[in-house]
Amino acid sequence: MNRRLDRAAKGGSARGRRRRVRLLQLAHARSGDKGDTANIGVIARKPEYYPLLVREVTAARVARHFKGLITGPVERFELPNLHALNFLLHGALDGGGTVSLKTDAQGKVLSTALLRMEVEVPR
Amino acid sequence: MSDGAVRVAAGQGFWGDWLEAPYRQVTGGPVDYLMMDYLAEVTMSIMQKQKSRDPALGYATDFVPLMERLLPILVERRIKVTANAGGVNPRGCARAVAEVARRLGLAGRLRIGVVTGDDLLERLDALLGRGHELRNLDTGRPLAEVRDRVLAANAYLGATPVVEALAGGADLVITGRVTDTGLTLAPLIHAFGWRPDDWDRLAAGTVAGHIIECGAQASGGNCLADWETIPDLAHVGYPIVEARPDGTFDIVKHPGTGGRISVAGVTEQLVYEMGDPTAYITPDCIADFTTIRLAQVGRDRVRVSGVRGGPPTDRLKVSVAYFYGYKAVGTLVYAWPDALKKAKLADRILRRRLADLGLEFEAIRTEFVGAGATHGPLAALGPLADDLPEVELRIAVRSRERGPVERFTREIAPLILNGPPSVTGFAGGRPKPEEIVAYWPALIDRREVRPSVEFVDV
């Protein structure tokens, strides 16, 4: 699996056939909170995967992924030095911190919720 | 150390962290400083409440017995401590530690530095009166709207007063609301004599602080990357910053401990609770996380270099805690067959009864634990939904008033006998209404905040 992904990331042409994989295969992540805003840091499992993340995991796609689960906008920041993207999900925590009634009041597992997303990679 | 490096060890990542960690940090190998972070956003209000009941309290009480255990080792090995365990009563905390030190026979051998000046509660009306609105950073509302319910108000102090305490000969620095990162940066400024406008080095020390402020989260704990292969978390080694005068540093842990120091794990901690990575703002500087370079330079050793920074803003963050209302959470467990269907029916029945009683809530939230409580509709169960071995019904309510929440807590148990079948898991008894203390982040002109340092000689 990984070898195929590596090949795809290196040599895959934009015109070639594509397939869908879970973001979990390309990245790991950690999430946390600041008030009612959650942040999700998404990190490429290999530096070669980073351009795929930049291309596929846009703020708009993340907003669509979490549609109905968050009330505010999504912002994206790039950290090419760490091969990572940082997302801010506003209005993600039902008021946040102590006010929230959610099990995940601090957004600790929104990280893996994002890694469920399917992205297109070259075959 | 002979190579000129200074080692700052993380001992606690929050109030309630592993009590063995600080002991293992000071006995497992050479360290120069033990850094302990106790304060989360709402911790100050809990401490303020304790202080209002007993003026001698209001600090992280765990810190005192911990010091009783560690002080003989710290004094013998000349390890210094920076800790924000002082909460809303750093002087009270210092007095309690001094008493313990005397009992241990350390009289004349220990100087405690006490950092205060972060507590704005007494000055709040004067500040508001002078036009400081302390608007909520998230909502934009002025603090006046909740003034009568404010329980605590603290400005975040940076490394400067901690450096002053160390320069004054303190072996132990006990502070109130000093930033998590400042507790690591201060020893480095003190040891290396970094200038107050050497922004790149201050930013490097800040990044070091950010990496170790959550304890084992930088050394294999809560780490998603390769989590199944991380060895011996039972004896996880907490992270240590091994810093050099030029501002580069390694993240390491003691030999023979569990966990793992890897680029992947350190990166996870770097992005934790991050906003705009180009501007990580502290009272000491602004660090640019997009300049950080990481390299695995040895087993369990990650080198951090390249960090750039700039001057801080002219404002300090203030964290205000205020009384919000009440909440309660009730749970019941439903078993196969049709566990999820039964839990859903119980939820409908309970909501109908709450409505029949005329109870009004600001919010009612139902989650089905085991069937998508954390990932919601993103976790498609498919045919599995009808065959789950059990599902926990978790229903939570929130109100500004205690009455409706109190009544709600009495509506859970009856469902065991008068609701859907195959139900269990009520051994804990009736849930308890819980007071909600909410968090109000704001900014204030830094000239209004005057940190102060004093010393207690044991």
- Is the pLDDT confidence value at B1 over 50? no
User: How does strand B172-175 pair with strand B111-116?
Assistant: parallel
Q: Tens of pLDDT along A63-115?
A: 999 999 999 999 999 999 999 999 999 999 998 888 999 999 999 999 999 99
> CB-based contact (8 Å) between A101 and chain B?
yes
The number of residues making up chain B comes to 458
> CB-based contact (8 Å) between B278 and chain A?
yes
Average pLDDT over residues B81-108: 97
Average pLDDT over residues B39-56: 87
Across the interface, do B225 and A104 touch by the CB < 8 Å criterion?
A: no
- Is the pLDDT confidence value at A3 over 70? no
DSSP E strands in B208-285: the ranges are: 240-243, 249-252, 280-281
Closest approach of chain A CAs to the CA of B399, in angstroms?
Answer: 10
Across the interface, do B275 and A102 touch by the CB < 8 Å criterion?
A: no
CA atoms within 13 A on the CB side of B333: 10
Consecutive H or E run containing B103: helix B90-103
ipTM given for this complex: 0.95
Which residues of chain B are within 8 Å of residue A31 when distances are taken between CB atoms?
A: 272
| pLDDT at residue A8 in the model | 59
**Tokens 């240590």 sit on residue:** B240
Q: What are the backbone dihedrals phi and psi of residue B216, each rounded to the nearest 5 degrees, phi first? A: -65, -5
Least confident span in A31-35, B202-206, B231-235, B453-457? A31-35
Provide the chain B residues 317-376 that lie in CB contact (below 8 A) with chain A.
Answer: 324, 327, 329, 363, 365, 367, 369, 373-376
B9, two tokens: 């060890």
Q: How confident is the model at residue A11 (pLDDT cuts 50, 70, 90)?
A: low
| pLDDT at residue A10 in the model | 60
Q: Are B143 and B123 in contact (CB under 8 A)?
A: no
- Is the pLDDT confidence value at B340 over 80? yes
Separation between Cα atoms, residue B176 and residue B297, nearest integer Å = 37
B394, two tokens: 């978790």
Angle at A34 between CA A32 and CA A39, to 5 degrees: 45
Consecutive H or E run containing A63: helix A59-65
Q: Tens of pLDDT along B173-218?
A: 999 999 999 999 999 999 999 999 999 999 999 999 999 999 999 9
pTM recorded for the entire structure: 0.95
Q: Are B330 and B428 in contact (CB under 8 A)?
A: no
Question: Residue B206: which of B191, B189, B184, B190 has the closest Cα?
Answer: B184
On average, the pLDDT of chain A sits at 91
Average pLDDT over residues B220-242: 98
Which residues of chain B are within 8 Å of residue A98 when distances are taken between CB atoms?
A: 42, 324, 436-439
Q: Tens of pLDDT along B249-289?
A: 999 999 999 999 999 999 999 999 999 999 999 999 999 99
Question: Residue B62: which of B106, B103, B107, B23 has the closest Cα?
Answer: B23
> CB-based contact (8 Å) between A65 and chain B?
yes
Average pLDDT over residues B312-321: 96
Q: Tens of pLDDT along B131-159?
A: 999 999 989 999 999 999 999 999 999 99
Closest approach of chain A CAs to the CA of B457, in angstroms?
Answer: 39
| pLDDT at residue A4 in the model | 65
Which chain B residue's Cα is nearest to A37? B138
